[in-house]
Every structure is written in C-alpha cells, then in structure tokens.
Structure 1
Amino acid sequence: MAPQRFHEQFDHIQRAMPGTALAMGPYDDGDAHFLYEKGVVLARDGEEARLVEDTVRAHFTETAGLVPDHVRRDGPHTNRTGVTRIRIGDPAEGADTVPHALRALREAEARRSRRLVSRNHVVHIAGGVNACPGDEPVPVARTQPANPAVAEGRYDADTAARVLVIDTGLVHDHDAYPPLAHTAGDIEPAETDADGVLRQYVGHGTFIAGILAAVAPNTAVTVRNTLSDAGAILESEFGARLFAAVDEGGWPDIISLSAGTTTEGVTDGLLGLDAFMRELREQRTLLVAAAGNNSSHAPFWPAAYAGLPEYADSVLSVGALSADGESEACFSNHGPWVQVFAPGERLTSALAGFDTPVPYIYQHSTYDGCRFDYDYSCTCQFPRHTGVLSEGRESTGAKPHQVMFDGLAQWSGTSFATPVVAGLVAAHMTAYGERDPRAARDGLLAAATGSAEVRGARVPVLRPPTWRPVSVADPAVPV
C-alpha cells in the first residue's frame, strides 16, 4: 500500500498542531501506521504514574545521560480520564525517546501482567495509514436526492431517539437543509481559510448528521465539535472531551463516532479512553464506531473494543460496503472485530454552502489505480483530481483542482457507514418503542438477512431501504 497519502496528511496535521511535535509509529511492512506525540507517554494516575516516572528516569540516566528533570509530569491531573502525561526529554532536540521508554517498562509490565504506559496517540477522523477519510468530497447538484434518501416519518421530540455525534461541528447554514432542521450542537468556528476556501474536514460532522437524519427522521441529533483541528486530537485530550460531551447533555441513546487510531499492539486499546469506556459500559448508551480506512485487519480503536468480550455489548463496529453494496469498499478495515458492514462509498448528504456557494481545493491526488489493489472503479481513482499536498506536484506544473459546493456532496469512508448503522438502530428504537439502544441493536441484527463476503468470510450487512447502489460502470450515476 502506497504511503503517499499518509505522509501528506501527517504534514497537514502537524501544521494544525504547531505546538505539538508528532512522530510516526512503526508498521509491519516498514510504513508508518499511526501518529503519536513525540517525547510523551501516558500512564494512569497515582502509583503507576510514579512507577513509570521512576523506571524511565533511572533508565535514561544510566543509558542516555539525561538528567532527572528530563522526565517530568506535564501539570496536575484535572479531569476524569485518570491518565497523566509524562514528558521524557525535549522533543525539540530531535530524537524521539518514546520507543526507548516503552522498552524500559516492559519488564515492569510483565511483572504486573498489566500495561503501565502508552504512547499518546493522535485520534483522527477514520484515520490510520491514510489519516483521512476514504476520499475527499465531490459536489452534487441540489437537484439530486440524498443517498440514502430521507425515509418516511416525522420528528417528534417526545419519542425521538437521542444521538450524539462526536466529530467536526455543524456548518453555519446547516438548517437550510430540511432534514437538519432539528439538529443541534456546535457550529464550526472557522469554516474557511483567509482566502475564503473551505478547510479540510469542514462539513464532515454535517454530512454525518445529514445521513442520520435521512435514515432516522425521528432522531434528536446533537453534533459536538471535538475534531476541528485537521480532524485530529491527542488521545490524552480525547477522553476528557468525550466526558465533556456526555456531561453537557447527559448520556444519549447512541454515540456516533467516526474517528480512531491503530496502535502498536492488537489488544491494547487506548489508555486515554480507559475511564470513558468503563463508564460507557455501565450506561445503556451504545457506541457506534467506524472501523477505519486502512484496508487492514489491524484493530482500529475505539471501534475494536467491540472485539473485546467486556465491551461487546456496548460497542458496535462498522465497516463500509462498496458503492454497489456487494462487497467491502477497498479502503474499509475488516476482521473479526468488525461486527457489521453498511453502505459507505459514494453516499450523498449535506455538506456546506447552502446560503452561498463555497470553494474547496483538493488536498490529495487520485491514483492511476486503486491504492489498495482492488479491481473495481473505486474512490481511489474517480473522479480524477490533483491535490495541494501531493508530492512532486510542483515539479510537474500540475495545478490543484478547485470545486464549488452549494449544499450537497458525495463522500466515502467508514466515517459515513457509521451514521447509517447508528440511524438504523435509532429507527428501530422509535419504530418498536424500544428505549434500550443495545436491545434495539440486537433486534436489528437478528432481523437482518443481508450478508456480504469480506476476505473470504460472510459478514452481516445492513442496507437502509432508501439507499440506492451506485453503478460501478458509471460511478457518478445512481442505479
């Protein structure tokens, strides 16, 4: 798999986090597959944090000549995550000390049979190898219907299922799109740059809310602007932001989350989310989470919590189907931890520019062939465009492509398969008067008759009745 897009997006995220030094994590084939904060590790508060500090301080004093002050906590613990950031050396000096610190603690972890320390990962919109969605949005004329189309039904505040979307904020004119008339939450603070061009990922949360409202009209959707900085946030901050989101409006029926990260281990999860995930488990809320766009079986967290027995009841992980709905999308993650697949390629929903058309300049270039080596006309290739971030663009003289958005867009990613499933669970709740979202999930999956073959395995599939497959022969035209 070509790492081109990952490196492009790494630079983009680093620019959006100017005060944070980032590094690329290791990958089996030599490519990077996650991002993390350079020179910082995470540990649980209290005794474990002190043990990590003492062990790492002794290791570096003996092996690297660091002075004790090079290992220090970054300020007091101030939130419910129960996690402390521990800085190891000065990342401005160049060398990344995190891998050495992790190795120094392996023996202590083995003695306790418990993970004591973690990298401070970057949690990103359906990130990973690509560190970006399956593709970038494509304008769709307002005369075209949404896909999935808006289902029959009306909004009733007394019976509506409550869904919390953790993503980017709503665009300022989102309520000009009728299905979003009852959507609440945070407005994106800076939709465009100094030149009036739509920033990358602006509209992502609006697009997701539009899918939810189409699949389940009787749903009270609240969107929180948690991922406004290039669609990314540090793990140490993410847990606190999740707690803040549920504290503000109470625990909802469903949380729709289209973000995450892979890690170095396959069963580790995210230390910064431990406290939130434990509290989630004790609530009745169902977390519906995107499986990620790495075209990989590597667990993508927090979706991969669905594969752990203690969280299987509280998390539903979602992969994406191809545009024709017959197999997995080329970019979708897969594996036994992905519980269900739903349409996620070339969906149509609300984006931005309802009041006044707004320009967007593509950041990534399409490929001559599928970057994951699939043989259908996927979003890696179509529609053709050249992006600002693409390596070698200036040497060829190629100009980045600009388009105009005036309301609707077509977009792909497990980011968007996720609200399809969240919406179907919400619709099941209101249709059957079910107040328990986890019971609604069970009933929905039990009644599902669809399946698809993904990497040789038959997997459950949920397709909304109003969703239309898109022709592979002409990807711009629904069938």
Structure 2
Amino acid sequence: MAPQRFHEQFDQIQRSLPDVPLAMGPDDSAEFIYEKGVVLARDGEEAQVVEDAVRSHFTATEGLVPDHVRRAGPHTNRSGITRIRVGDPGEGGRSADHAVAGALRALRETEGRAGRRLVSRNHVVSIAVNACPGDEPVPVARTEQPNPAPAQPAGGPDGPDGRVGVLVIDTGLTHDYRSYPLLARTRGDVQVRETDDEGVLQQYVGHGTFIAGLVAAVAPHTDVTVRGTLNDAGAILESEFGERLFDAVEDGWPDIISLSAGTSNGRLDGLLGVAAFMEELRVHDTLLVAAAGNNASAAPFWPAAYASSPEHADAVLSVGALRGDGEFGACFSNHGPWVKVYAPGERLISALTGFDAPVPYVYQHSTFETCRYGFAYSCTCRSPRHTGVLSEAQQNPPGKPDQVMFEGLASWSGTSFATPVAAGLVAAHMTDRQVSDSRAAARELLAVHADFAEVRGAHVPALLPPTWRPVPVGPS
C-alpha cells in the first residue's frame, strides 16, 4: 500500500495533468505513476509490431476488439516515440491498469527474441522524484547567509574556453529572481504562473530558482541558464519529456546539465521516452548531473541510474543526498550502487523567490509523528512541524493548513538540491583547474577531492563544498 504522502502527491499531479488519467504502478504502491490505457513504442516497424502483438493478445485473452488498439496522437520526431492506446483510460481507479499490464505481457516473448525492450508504460516524470518531495520549503530570514555560502574562486573567472555553462532543466525562474545578488547573471525562462487566484505561491514554484542559486553559490564564475521545462507542478509524461529535453539544448549543448527530476519504472534498462536523448548525450561533451530520487529506495531511478550503464557512465553523474551533518545519507535519499556520489541535500539555504515583496505559501503535506523511513534522527519527515492542505482530511481532528511568508530565502531538502551542489562543484573545478572537459573534471573531482560518508552501511564518495556549513542533527 502506498504511503499517505504518495497518495497526496498523486492527487496533486493528477490536478496538474487534468486531461491525463493516471494510475499507480506496478500496483497500488509508491514506485511510480503512469498514464492509463496507453503504452509507448519506438516509431516505425517496432510500433507496428507492438500494435499487432497487443491486438492478438487482447482478442485472444481479454475480449477487447482489435479496433480498440490504435495510435494515440502524433509522435515526436526527435524522441522517436509513439503512444499506442490499448484500453479505455476511463476504466478503473488509481491502482494498476490491467490493459496496460496485458500489453506489456503480450510483448514479453517478442522482446526476448529481439534482445531489447519494445514497449513501456508512459511514466510521469516529476521534480518531486518518486512523487515524494524530501520536504517543503521553510522561510529563512533575509539576514541569514545562504548555505552553501558564496565561494571565492581559486582561479580566474574563465576556463580555457571561456566561462563554464550550466543548464538547469526544472521549473522556471521567479519573476524577481535578479533581486537576489547571486542570480544577477543568471538567465532563462520565467515561471509561467507563480501564484493561485488568491495570491498564494503554488507548489514547487521557486524550485528552479533555488537550484540556480545553489549553482551560483558553489560556482560563482559560471554561466547559469534555467529552462522552465517542468513548470506544470514539476510533472510531465515520459512521452513528452524526451522531446522537451531536446528543446532545452536546442541552442547548444552546455558543459553541464543539472536535472532534478525523474522516475522509477521497475526495470533496469532505462526509459524508452528518453532513449534517443541519452544516445545523443553520448556523442556530446556534456555531463548530465541527475538526482537520485527521494523514496529511500534502492530501485533504479531514471535518468540518474544511467550512471551505472557502461554506455553512459562517463556522461551521467547520479547524486544522492547527505543529511545535515554530512556524515550519513539523508532519510529520504535513494541509494544503491547506481548512485555514484552524495552531496549535502538537507536543509540547504538558497533563494526561493526574489526580494521584491513577501509572498504567502500554504503547506501541502503534514509532517509525521516519526520518520516515515524509520530513521532515528530529527529528519525532514517530522521537523519543522506543520499541517498541510493535502493531509487535512487525514488529521484527527482536522487541522487548519499552516501558512508562512517567504521574503526571498528558504531552507529546503531533497536530492533535487544535492544535485546542483554537485554540478556546481564540477563547474568550479573546471574553472579553478582550467579543465575544459566536464566529464574529465567529474572523474578527477571524485578520484582526488571526494570525501566519504556512510549510507546504509556502505562508505560512499561525498562532495562537500568548502563554504557549506553542517547542520546539527539531533535525536528524534
């Protein structure tokens, strides 16, 4: 049974994608969310193979007439993916879609002969990562210092070929982001809509701004560009995600991409919808720094888990989160051999909005009485205490959701934020050591300059910015 917060996030994502019926997978669990009644296949011959196999399977075993299986809308040229309808998306509830499961079964034998996957669910990719955020932002006084604090570069402002470029693929920038000094040089897309009709900041608005601020603090002599690829509450279908990734690099491939989004899929071979982008990434010099996810799970999380693939290991750096003291893994962080490095990701301080005017925010999730992952320290599951609007029905008696005011800075936790810290450290290393190759810089940084932390009993590489201040970790 999926935990309460996953159900709350499911409702939130469903509202952000009102025309897309969604289901949980692989059953009523917290592994992933996907589109009901639809599967994905590669364009051309493979799509036809999938259609024919599904028609035959459903006609023989499910009683579905062949005409119900058909292409579901236009495909995209760059990602090379076709959506195929295999069932009625209006049937059933939020638990597993049996039509989609049947379509996957119908192709198992054919996939075995082909030696590769031919069909996939259409997963929801989200910046909440596994549909469960590490926590929600907490206001911080303007008098506080960012954490990590702004670094002083050891070398000159330019690398051998000019300033290092970091592309953040996330939500857009808040309208007044330039009033935060560290973001004065940052450019990119502005958030489409920041507040609701009552002027309350919407969930995940400021996520991209917060991330850009972390990159700028760790690597101040870096050109940071933010693309608002995930403006719709941070959720997008896999079938669209691959195309939007191509859109983000249309003006040129940067040195580094910082991506704090993804999904699990119950498999070890990646996402069909981003396969074309990942192949294109291999032939460029760009390093993809990707978040490992926030479900306290060892299940591969994509695209971060491509770091464990021999074909992509040099091009992808997967990042897990350390807790406030930097000595152990954060309670929420995914883990496993596919996570290549960990960085501080708990209670970091950066800009959520600019400083033009205070803006209210209403908490979406309530904190738990104890850590929902079973950790003994005072983790983000339970501190600071607040009641959220999505959890109100779960309160006994019902509690009024808590509202706070943001005036610029916030404290926030998640692998979403460990990721730009790691990306910034690679960028700073490129500038300080005059290294032009981001992938070579990442290898050198891990080999020579990494510390170590303990995650689930294993000693793992850790990147700790010199200006990062450990946060005391108390008992629960």
TM band (smaller chain): over 0.9
Q: State which drifts further: 136-145 or 79-88.
A: 79-88
How far apart are 1:156 and its partner, in Å?
Answer: 5.8
- 2:31 maps to 33
- 1:103 maps to 105
Check 1:327–1:474 CA distance in 2 against 1; reply closer, same or farther (3 A cut).
Answer: closer
Counterpart-to-counterpart distance in 2, 1:244 and 1:349: 27
Counterpart-to-counterpart distance in 2, 1:41 and 1:304: 22
Q: Which amino acid aligns with 2:201?
A: L
The answer on whether the counterparts of 2:266 and 2:299 sit within 8 Å (CA) in structure 1 is no
The answer on whether the counterparts of 2:293 and 2:320 sit within 8 Å (CA) in structure 1 is yes
How many residues are paired up? 469
Q: CA RMSD in A?
A: 1.7
Counterpart-to-counterpart distance in 2, 1:449 and 1:100: 46
Check 1:75–1:31 CA distance in 2 against 1; reply closer, same or farther (3 A cut).
Answer: closer
Identity within the alignment, %: 71
The answer on whether the counterparts of 1:159 and 1:218 sit within 8 Å (CA) in structure 2 is no
Counterpart-to-counterpart distance in 2, 1:127 and 1:336: 18
The answer on whether the counterparts of 1:123 and 1:232 sit within 8 Å (CA) in structure 2 is yes
Q: For 1:393-472, what aligned pairs fall within 5 Å after superposition? A: 393=394, 396-472=397-473
Counterpart-to-counterpart distance in 1, 2:90 and 2:376: 44
Residue number among 179, 182, 195 corresponding to 2:198 in the alignment: 195
Counterpart-to-counterpart distance in 2, 1:371 and 1:395: 18
The answer on whether the counterparts of 1:2 and 1:371 sit within 8 Å (CA) in structure 2 is no
* Structure 2 residue 220 is the aligned partner of structure 1 residue 222: no
The answer on whether the counterparts of 1:448 and 1:461 sit within 8 Å (CA) in structure 2 is no
Please report the TM-score for the alignment, with normalisation by the length of structure 2.
Answer: 0.96
- 2:44 maps to 46
Deviation digits for residues 342-394 of structure 1 (CA, Å, limit 9, x no counterpart): 00000000001511100000000001111100000111111000000016346
- 1:351 maps to 352
- 2:84 maps to 86
- 1:256 maps to 258
- Matched residue SS, 1:175: helix
Counterpart-to-counterpart distance in 2, 1:132 and 1:216: 29
- Matched residue SS, 1:389: helix
Please report the TM-score for the alignment, with normalisation by the length of structure 1.
Answer: 0.95
Residue number among 125, 135, 144 corresponding to 1:123 in the alignment: 125
How far apart are 1:78 and its partner, in Å?
Answer: 3.3
Counterpart-to-counterpart distance in 2, 1:442 and 1:177: 32
Q: State which drifts further: 253-262 or 224-233.
A: 224-233
Segments of 5+ residues of structure 2 without an aligned counterpart are none
Counterpart-to-counterpart distance in 1, 2:140 and 2:44: 53
- 1:166 maps to 169
- 1:385 maps to 386
Q: State which drifts further: 453-462 or 335-344.
A: 453-462
Q: State which drifts further: 77-86 or 237-246.
A: 77-86
How far apart are 1:452 and its partner, in Å?
Answer: 1.0
Q: Which amino acid aligns with 2:244?
A: R
- Matched residue SS, 1:348: strand
Counterpart-to-counterpart distance in 2, 1:446 and 1:216: 20
- Matched residue SS, 1:93: coil
Q: Which amino acid aligns with 1:234?
A: L
How far apart are 1:277 and its partner, in Å?
Answer: 0.1
How far apart are 1:473 and its partner, in Å?
Answer: 3.4
Counterpart-to-counterpart distance in 1, 2:416 and 2:450: 23
Q: State which drifts further: 439-448 or 320-329.
A: 439-448
Deviation digits for residues 96-122 of structure 1 (CA, Å, limit 9, x no counterpart): 310111111111111222111000000
